Structure 1
């Protein structure tokens, strides 16, 4: 597949002749005159300047916001180890918004087949629908995580813009290949209660911005089970990232956001990552661009710290069996010997052959030790059917 047909090359201002050797600029292969070898890369940066799904329309800025984020990102110091990162340039939007979704589907699908992780930056948050569509060809149920100030669950055929309905559109997509969803950082004063009730009835997990700020570690298992993750800049408070509208003084801090990105990068299962919603015309000092660049840096650094998390029941893990008085009569937990990570084995009560080992917390283990079934076990039991 010739991906170069879908992209515009980057301007010369983003390609310094002699970059500082210790910065990422010296290690990124960029699309200028020659399209980079994306098949041999670990990560591929894709800029998006598609805003037809947004009620506010395109930002009133001369340069795409993605280029401003790149400029900040390239100036950051390279982390540990080898970096194999390519920048494919900015995606050419399709004739319609639906065409753009399909382009993303094809491009991301090709990258997934090659084992290259797409890093998507810019455009309205509904573009993660194209990110989602790329996973249909995997022929298996997937899980994903969304970080946003509120779940975008408007009716897809209503007058609401696409950025307000993309999550519901994923849920009603046919064929249905969604196994679980984790929605992170919603703000309850922006979220209709019936939306949270609907997500709970579907046995999907949610975590409010207050819960994340109280203990970010509790978000890690939700991200660890995701195949892909999308982040709306509007989930971050305006003071830390003034690059979206309407402004919101509440939300995640930039430290919270970078920690979530580290978790995502460190997740060996996660195979694509999107940062959406950045409007350069609302960011005169480049503070939001710097925040996004740093979030991207933490994802890349987390990616290069990935370790295999397989072989449950082997010497790599400590095994804890908790005896319970009812049905089930026991729960099995695994803890990594190398890191403070826990997993729980969930076996379907209706089919003993149908079981999964899922990420969990130490608190889940403590609840089980006290004779209580963890809520995470109950939700998954319902999904396993």
Structure 2
């Protein structure tokens, strides 16, 4: 498949000539004159200048991906090989639904090839197109979303970026194994919707929980196959360029920490940043925040450990006994990263055990004689 037919090149000024050879722009291969050989890349950047799924977009709105790039290209390169290519901006379809399908095809090709696509800009409903890129896989997937709201409005008069999560949950065929949302704000969430998602055994974390238990968010993000980050989850002071700015939310530093966790996740195969509105962005502050978040995602990517062999000397195995069911629970700790995993056995014996990410606190809970909540949630899905 010739991916170049889906993309438009970036303008030569400012992307053709990096300001500093040691900067990110000096190490990237952008699509300016000729389409880069993406097969030799590890990470690929994709701009999404598609905002028909949101309200009140202006002509300047569509410059969002390029403005994020400008700030990203100026940052200094981090550690690692940084085999990164910028494929330019995805050409929108005739209709919004065509853009979803075009994004689906691109994600499908890149994920199959083992590349890590990072999506820049566009309205949050493009998460649906990102999700569709996993439909062809012969497995279920876990979606992690960071957003201040639950985009579960009924379709009708609302914009697509207000009800795309509803479409994902109702998608047929259903290949969504798990869903986690971080950073939602209770006064922006409908109580009935919250109750429905909890009944489906999904993980929901308020912004206060994320802030107070930041380290506990790491295993939550470590189980994700794809992740979507809406800029609305970040407070207005750090990201004013959003449609519904709020004085409360994640700080820019907390957002970067979550992106660092996400990048380190060996299982994560695509990451999207959505909701940026450049016409509302004071002194490009939001673009700078998002560019730094992308930088931390890439830096985390180059800290990945590769394939995990839980039977090797890389891991220490712990066994915790119980009086009831389960009678025994196994934990694994990576000697180098000190990250934890937990074995979840199918109590019916019909399925093979799952080894899922967990935290040290989950292990301590089991040692105290209580079954960790994460183990219970996984049992309900098996």
TM-score of the pair, normalised by structure 1: 0.97
Name the SS for the 2:235 alignment partner.
Answer: coil
Name the SS for the 1:200 alignment partner.
Answer: helix
CA distance in 1, matches of 2:62, 2:230: 20
CA distance in 2, matches of 1:81, 1:38: 18
Moved more, 74-83 or 15-24: 15-24
CA distance in 1, matches of 2:374, 2:332: 15
Q: Residue 322 and residue 18 in structure 1: after superposition, are their counterparts in 2 closer, same or farther (change >3 A)?
A: closer
Structure 1 match to 2:162: 164
Give runs of aligned pairs for residues 1-385 of structure 1, distance below 5 A: 1-17=1-17, 19-54=19-54, 56-61=55-60, 64-155=63-154, 157-308=155-306, 310-351=308-349, 353-384=351-382
Name the SS for the 1:34 alignment partner.
Answer: coil
Name the SS for the 1:68 alignment partner.
Answer: helix
Write the deviation string for residues 19-67 of structure 1: whole angstroms up to 9, x where unpaired.
Answer: 412111111111111001111111111111111111x232342761111
CA distance in 2, matches of 1:43, 1:111: 10
Name the SS for the 1:382 alignment partner.
Answer: helix
Moved more, 288-297 or 18-27: 18-27
CA contact (8 A) 1:14 1:67 kept: no
CA contact (8 A) 1:313 1:334 kept: no
Name the SS for the 1:357 alignment partner.
Answer: strand
Q: Which runs of 5+ in 1 are unaligned?
A: none
CA distance in 1, matches of 2:235, 2:13: 30
Name the SS for the 1:73 alignment partner.
Answer: helix
Write the deviation string for residues 157-206 of structure 1: whole angstroms up to 9, x where unpaired.
Answer: 33221111111111110000010011110011111112221111111111
Name the SS for the 1:349 alignment partner.
Answer: coil
CA distance in 1, matches of 2:9, 2:34: 9
CA distance in 2, matches of 1:85, 1:264: 17
Alignment RMSD, CA only? 1.3
- How many aligned positions are there? 382
CA contact (8 A) 1:50 1:58 kept: no
Give the drift of 1:273. Answer: 0.5
Name the SS for the 1:354 alignment partner.
Answer: coil
CA distance in 2, matches of 1:300, 1:125: 21
Give the drift of 1:371. Answer: 1.1
CA distance in 1, matches of 2:151, 2:279: 24
Write the deviation string for residues 203-225 of structure 1: whole angstroms up to 9, x where unpaired.
Answer: 11111110111121111111000
Name the SS for the 1:87 alignment partner.
Answer: strand
CA distance in 2, matches of 1:107, 1:60: 25
CA contact (8 A) 1:51 1:57 kept: no
Moved more, 13-22 or 245-254: 13-22
Give the drift of 1:131. Answer: 0.4
